[in-house]
Each structure stands twice: as structure tokens, then as C-alpha cells.
């Protein structure tokens, strides 16, 4: 990432229109919060468990807490809408040993899934946590199925996974999970409050977390809005506040190339204050500089949009082409970091970004529910001939023709001599007219870094090495689980399993 020419990006973003305009708004640092002593605090309310954040981790924690017998459980959400970043993510869920794998004759195991993730983690992922998540992933998937989530009838094999093990909601979005889980939470008696911002922990004399200071009636972006609201927790607090990909200052502090002009797939609320507060309390920061960009994103739309899922689905049987050369430049299903770095190297003669293109046979592309949408909303294109395609994107047509012939030979042979791509999912899928095309450019997507936790979702204290009493954390706010690069579809199982784990730990299950 260090070779990114920021000036080039700046010039490039000016031509982006809507997506660039949204991304170019610098984010103000949130107002500072601070933990206080419980002495003299007037509690507005006493409950069993406070859950901060309403994404996958918070919702799973809420449901599990009730099932373990917790009485008063409330989920507090900073934003006006529930679901956090989870409600706008891709809805991709990896689990080993699932009914669909059995049905399709896919051999998989906890060990295999962990091994795939360890490889992508480049030696610094947390094997124990990954194993814990993989062991319970099916349980989490079942929780979503019981709540009413519906999945496509096929499995996908995402970049870096050695076998197809990924379910995806039929709506191709995390909302296909957050909406049913939110309903389930309420059905089981979990209270949900929106526009309530976490503002710090309240500690008893021994340093145990006795409750939280919140701001009720908070309007995102209006830091003076709302009123303090003190909630005492009999059993504990579960921090499920997500990542900080939208906090430009913080992400640039870790990786100066991730300026305000680099897009972001995340919900606006992913700003990291909850994580900051845990650091202040003594939590251990892990892997903060490992911030992942999604290699399947498009510069032609904002956020995760429609193209991301379209690309994720199509990469195995598509080619990614550098428009300067007309040649492939990467293994289209390598892990996310490998691909994002390769895309960032696609530049024009002046060194300015030149987003590469992904070419798919329309016959295969149209199998994805978003195929029609990318055309309809002007973020994807369809061409009847290679000449038209090459002219539109200013690609040397002769080189491109040659490359496609060469690649189709790899499809036939089942071996990619150029980049060593696993051709299993490309079997019989030649690149032929008509063609579907989207443009690719990475967007900041996921923070591998966060607070250190145990396999019980406890947050460790940097001074004592012991868990901070009354405090648990789950999901993207935690760090070190995935190492340098998280594999796609491994966040939802992690969030849900660790959310459930936090609830079980709190309830002594």
C-alpha cells in the first residue's frame, strides 16, 4: 500500500461523481468520552446486561443472553437505524460441516477452515479464537435460520478458501440476517434503543465495570446533542461496536495511505469510540495497522453497493484485466490483501489510478441476482463484442484477445499457468461473448485490529493481564483474530459466535 500516489488518487476521485463526493467529507473526531467512578452516580436505570451496538455480534449476544436466562437485556444503538455495518454488508456466512456441504458432497472441517484463515493471516492470526469460531459457526448459522434468515441454494468459494463453504442470504446482504435477528431479539424480550451513544464506563471501587454512561437522544454528527443517561448493569457490558473504517483520522494514523479520498464500504457509524474507551480502561490494542480494503468494490458507486457481491460471486470464473496492458494482473481469487494491492498498482502513464476491469461471460454473470442491477444502475456494462468492450475502456484489443484465448486454455486444462488460480470453480466456464464488465477499485472495508479478547470474549487488562471485570467484547471491535488479512465471509460467524460466547460467559454458562 505504501506506493500509492495520493495526488493521483485525488485527481482520480474528482472524476468519481457521487461515490467520490460522499467519501471526500472529512470526518470530525468524535467528542471524547471518559470513564468515571460509580461513587455519587445517579443511575437512571438498572438492567442485567447492556449491549453496545446492534450488528451481528450485539444481536446474537442479545438473543443468547435471554436464552441463558438473563432478565433485563438492552441493546443500545448510536445510530438512528439498527443493524450497524452488518445491515449493509454482503450477507456472506462461512461455516464448516454444514448441511449444504453435505448435500453438495463438499468435504470440509474445522481444521481446514482454520488452516485457510491462518494462511491469509500470514502467521499472526489467533488460532485458538479462529478454532473457537469455526467450532461454533454452524450453531450461529442455525440461530439465523431459526430466526427466519433465507440463503441461496448454492455455496460459494470465496478468495483464499480451499473449498466452497460460504452461504449467502437470498437478498445478498447482511440485512437478511440483522432484520430477522432484531425481530427475534424483541420477541425474546430484548429491549432496543436507538440514538443512544456510548460515552464511557462507570467503575466501582475495585475497577470492575458497574455500568455505562450513555447519551440519550444523540444525533449522529451533532456532538452536542442528547443528554447523559446512566445505566447500571448487574451482570456486565458487552461491547459490540464494530470497526473504525469510517474514522479517517484514526485509520490514517495506522496507515497514512487510507486518506479521506479512499472510499469505504462501511456504515457511517463505524468510528471506533467504543474501542477507544476500552483502550483508556486498559484494554490491549492488537493489530491496529492491519486495515483491509475490499478488492471487489467499484469506484462507480458508494459504499458496498451492488458491484461488491456481483464481483465476489463472479471472480472465480472471470478475468481481471489491467487496462494499460490488456493482460490479467492477479489471481482473481487470491486473498483480499493480495488482490487489493495488485489493483492499486493498475495505473496510467502518469501514475494515476486506472481502475482495472473484471470481464465475465454474461451467461455466467447473469446467474447472480445483482447482474441486472449493475447494468440498470449504470455501474456495470454489457458488450456483444470484444471490440466494443476494448473501445469503451480503452484497452489494447489485440493483447486482450490473446489473453482471453490463453485464459480459456487454462479453463480447459484446469490449471492457471499465469497466476496459479484454483480453476475448480471455473470448470467449463470460458470467457465468451456477450461480456459483462465492472470496474474495480479497493475500498476500506474491515479493521483486523481492536481490543484483545480471550476465547470467553473477556477483555484483558494491559497491566494485570487478567480480564477486566464486568466487560466483554465481540465482533470487529476486537483485534488479532484474523491476523493480517481476514478471509471473506468469516466476519459474520466471528461476530455471532463471539457475541453468543460473551452472553454465555456473562451468564456463567
Residue positions annotated with a catalytic role: 336
Please report the DSSP string for 202-242 in residue order: EE-TTS-EEEEEEEET-BTTBTT-SEEEEEEEEEEEEE---
Q: Which stretch binds other proteins (CB under 8 A): 141-149, 172-180, 242-250, 278-286?
A: 172-180
Among 171, 252, 260, 484, binds other proteins (CB under 8 A): 171
What's the number of CA atoms in the CB half-sphere (13 Å) around residue 346?
27
Among 7, 18, 289, 509, binds other proteins (CB under 8 A): 18
Cβ distance to other proteins smaller for residue 175 or 397: 175
Q: Which of 274, 322, 324 is nearest to 475 (CA)?
A: 274
- DSSP code at position 184: H
Closest distance of CB 380 from other proteins, Å: 11
Our finding on whether 88 is near other proteins (CB under 8 A) is: yes
Among 13, 60, 158, 173, binds other proteins (CB under 8 A): 173
Q: Which of 85, 49, 81 is nearest to 477 (CA)?
A: 85
Q: Which stretch binds other proteins (CB under 8 A): 53-61, 99-107, 111-119, 365-373?
A: 365-373
Residues in contact with other proteins, shown as a per-residue x/- string from 216 to 245 under the rule CB under 8 A: -x-x-----x--------------------
Q: Which three three-digit cell numbers place residue 357?
A: 476491469
Our finding on whether 250 is near other proteins (CB under 8 A) is: no
Among 29, 81, 324, 411, binds other proteins (CB under 8 A): 81
Cα separation, 298 vs 302, whole angstroms: 8
Residue with cell 495488485: 342
Among 303, 355, 356, 436, binds other proteins (CB under 8 A): 303
Our finding on whether 301 is near other proteins (CB under 8 A) is: yes
Closest distance of CB 301 from other proteins, Å: 6
Cα separation, 33 vs 233, whole angstroms: 19
Residues in contact with other proteins, shown as a per-residue x/- string from 129 to 158 under the rule CB under 8 A: ------------------------------
Cα separation, 70 vs 508, whole angstroms: 11
- CB-based contact 496:60 (threshold 8 Å): yes
Tabulate helix, strand, coil % of the chain (nearest 5): 35, 20, 45
Cβ distance to other proteins smaller for residue 140 or 371: 371
Our finding on whether 268 is near other proteins (CB under 8 A) is: yes
Question: Which residues are registered as beta bridge partners of 192?
Answer: 75
Cβ distance to other proteins smaller for residue 347 or 439: 439
Our finding on whether 128 is near other proteins (CB under 8 A) is: no
Please report the DSSP string for 359-419 in residue order: EEEHHHHTTSTTHHHHHHTTS-EEESSHHHHHHHHT--HHHHHHHHHHHHHHHHHT--TTT
Q: Which stretch binds other proteins (CB under 8 A): 54-62, 77-85, 338-346, 431-439?
A: 77-85
Question: Which residues are registered as beta bridge partners of 239?
Answer: 52, 473
Contacts of 405 (CB under 8 A, 6+ apart): none
Among 276, 306, 310, 329, binds other proteins (CB under 8 A): 306
Q: Which stretch binds other proteins (CB under 8 A): 81-89, 99-107, 158-166, 197-205?
A: 81-89
Among 373, 382, 455, 456, binds other proteins (CB under 8 A): 373
Our finding on whether 366 is near other proteins (CB under 8 A) is: no
Our finding on whether 83 is near other proteins (CB under 8 A) is: yes
Our finding on whether 377 is near other proteins (CB under 8 A) is: yes
Angle at 194 between CA 188 and CA 199, to 5 degrees: 110
Cβ distance to other proteins smaller for residue 81 or 399: 81
Residue with cell 471472480: 315
Residues in contact with other proteins, shown as a per-residue x/- string from 26 to 65 under the rule CB under 8 A: ----------------------------------------
Cβ distance to other proteins smaller for residue 119 or 216: 216
The H-assigned helical ranges of 2-83 are 6-14, 18-23, 56-67
Cβ distance to other proteins smaller for residue 91 or 236: 91
Our finding on whether 22 is near other proteins (CB under 8 A) is: yes
Cβ distance to other proteins smaller for residue 161 or 195: 195
Identify the helix (H) or strand (E) that includes residue 477: none
| Residues 184-203, interacting with other proteins (CB under 8 A) | 194-195
Closest distance of CB 335 from other proteins, Å: 25
Among 26, 123, 349, 378, binds other proteins (CB under 8 A): 378
> Helix, strand or coil for residue 77?
coil
- Peptide bond connecting 332 to the previous residue in cis, omega within 30 degrees of 0: no
Strand ranges, E, within 69-203? 73-76, 92-94, 166-168, 191-193, 196-203
Cβ distance to other proteins smaller for residue 208 or 268: 268
Identify the helix (H) or strand (E) that includes residue 41: none
Chain-centroid distance of CA 164 in Å reads 19
- At residue 237, φ and ψ (nearest 5 deg) are -120, 135
Q: Which residues bind other proteins (CB under 8 A)?
A: 18, 22, 80-83, 87-88, 171, 173, 175, 179, 194-195, 217, 219, 225, 268, 301-306, 369, 372-373, 377-379
Amino acid at each position: 500500500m505504501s506506493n500509492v500516489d495520493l495526488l493521483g488518487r485525488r485527481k482520480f476521485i474528482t472524476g468519481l461523481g457521487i461515490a467520490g463526493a460522499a467519501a471526500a467529507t472529512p470526518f470530525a473526531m468524535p467528542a471524547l468520552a471518559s470513564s468515571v467512578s460509580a461513587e455519587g452516580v445517579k443511575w437512571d436505570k438498572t438492567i442485567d446486561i447492556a449491549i453496545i451496538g446492534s450488528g451481528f455480534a450485539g444481536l446474537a449476544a442479545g438473543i443468547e443472553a435471554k436464552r441463558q436466562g438473563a432478565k433485563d437485556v438492552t441493546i443500545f444503538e448510536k445510530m438512528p437505524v439498527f443493524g450497524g455495518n452488518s445491515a449493509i454488508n454482503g450477507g456472506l456466512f462461512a461455516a464448516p460441516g454444514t448441511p449444504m456441504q453435505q448435500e453438495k458432497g463438499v468435504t470440509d472441517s474445522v481444521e481446514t477452515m482454520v488452516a485457510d484463515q491462518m494462511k491469509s493471516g500470514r502467521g499472526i492470526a489467533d488460532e485458538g479464537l479462529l478454532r473457537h469460531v469455526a467450532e461454533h459457526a454452524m450453531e450461529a448459522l442455525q440461530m439465523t435460520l431459526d430466526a427466519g434468515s433465507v440463503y441461496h441454494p448454492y455455496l460459494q468459494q470465496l478468495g483464499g478458501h480451499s473449498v466452497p463453504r460460504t452461504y449467502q442470504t437470498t437478498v445478498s446482504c447482511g440485512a437478511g440476517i440483522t432484520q430477522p435477528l432484531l425481530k427475534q431479539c424483541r420477541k425474546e424480550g430484548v429491549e432496543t434503543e436507538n440514538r443512544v451513544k456510548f460515552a464511557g464506563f462507570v467503575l466501582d471501587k475495585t475497577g470492575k465495570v458497574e455500568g455505562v454512561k450513555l447519551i440519550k437522544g444523540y444525533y449522529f454528527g451533532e456532538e452536542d446533542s442528547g443528554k447523559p443517561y446512566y445505566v447500571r448493569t448487574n451482570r456486565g457490558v458487552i461491547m459490540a461496536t464494530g470497526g473504525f473504517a469510517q474514522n479517517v483520522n484514526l485509520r490514517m494514523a495506522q496507515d497514512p495511505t487510507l486518506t479521506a479520498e479512499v472510499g469505504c464500504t462501511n456504515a457511517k457509524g463505524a468510528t471506533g469510540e467504543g474501542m477507544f474507551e476500552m483502550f483508556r480502561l486498559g484494554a490491549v490494542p492488537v493489530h491496529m495497522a492491519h486495515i483491509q480494503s475490499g478488492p471487489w468494490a467499484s469506484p462507480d458507486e458508494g459504499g458496498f453497493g451492488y458491484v461488491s457481491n456481483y464481483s465476489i460471486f463472479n471472480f472465480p470464473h472471470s478475468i481481471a484485466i489491467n487496462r494499460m496492458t490488456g493482460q490479467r494482473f492477479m489471481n482473481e481469487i487470491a486473498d483480499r490483501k493480495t488482490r487489493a494491492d495488485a489493483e492499486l498498482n493498475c495505473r496510467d502513464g502518469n501514475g494515476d489510478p486506472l481502475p482495472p476491469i473484471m470481464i465475465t461471460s454474461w451467461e455466467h454473470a447473469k446467474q447472480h441476482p445483482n447482474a441486472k442491477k449493475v447494468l440498470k444502475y449504470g455501474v456495470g456494462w454489457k458488450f456483444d463484442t470484444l471490440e466494443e468492450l476494448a473501445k469503451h475502456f480503452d484497452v489494447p484489443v489485440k493483447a486482450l484477445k490473446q489473453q482471453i484465448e490463453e485464459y480459456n486454455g487454462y479453463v480447459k486444462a484446469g490449471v492457471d499457468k499465469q497466476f496459479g488460480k484454483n480453476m475448480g470453480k471455473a470448470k467449463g466456464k470460458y470467457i465468451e461473448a456477450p461480456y459483462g464488465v465492472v470496474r474495480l477499485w479497493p475500498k476500506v472495508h474491515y479493521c483486523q485490529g481492536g481490543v484483545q479478547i480471550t476465547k470467553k470474549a473477556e477483555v484483558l487488562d494491559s497491566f494485570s493481564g487478567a480480564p477486566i471485570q464486568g466487560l466483554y467484547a465481540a465482533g470487529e471491535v476486537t483485534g488479532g483474530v484474523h491476523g493480517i488479512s481476514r478471509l471473506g465471509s468469516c466476519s459474520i460467524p466471528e461476530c455471532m459466535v463471539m457475541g453468543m460466547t460473551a452472553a454465555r460467559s456473562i451468564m456463567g454458562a
